[in-house]
Amino acid sequence: MRNTSLSFFLFSLISFSANAQCKEIEDIKKLNDALLKLEMRKDTSALSNIIADDVIYINPQGAELGKNEIMSIIANPRRIYKSIRIDKIVDARMIGDIGVVVSEISIARVLNGVSSYIKMSVMDSFEKRKGKWLLIASHNSLLFAR
């Protein structure tokens, strides 16, 4: 009887942990999508609440940008987003207290009067701080541009 009770307890614990992890993965996938929608709307105020002050952001050219630089780029009136979308989620997982989302995104924009279409591979890392998910790192690789 003891072995049955212990087995049931362990199974329940594993099931609870797996369900909690699935919920967190869904949370970071939704947050990842929200980041793109906020960027398209140029809502730097809302983005500022999601992007950690100590974020590490690597742009497609390989440059490391800080939070203030990211906000300045997004707010630039000569940068107009026509669309930003996630084409596919390649992977999403929890690694301890860190959530990682790897996706392919497409961006249609006008920059300094020139229209372009960009496809990128993006790896965003989120950490839960004081009960709130924050973007702590993002690495963006250009797949193609036209």
pTM of the model: 0.84
φ, ψ (nearest 5 deg) of residue 86: -85, 120
Q: What is the pLDDT of residues 49-108, one digit of tens each?
A: 999 999 999 999 999 999 999 999 999 999 999 999 999 999 999 998 899 999 999 999
Per the listing, tokens 């990842």 go with: 32
Q: How far apart are CA 122 and CA 79, in angstroms?
A: 20
pLDDT at 6: 58
Q: Is the pLDDT of residue 2 over 60?
A: no
> Domains plus CATH for the chain?
2-145 (3.10.450.50)
Contacts of residue 85, defined as CB under 8 A and 6 or more positions apart, other chains included, come to 36, 105, 106
Long-range contacts of 7-10 (CB under 8 A, 24+ apart): none
pLDDT at 10: 47
Q: Is the pLDDT of residue 36 over 80?
A: yes
Q: Contact 107/120 with Cβ under 8 angstroms?
A: yes
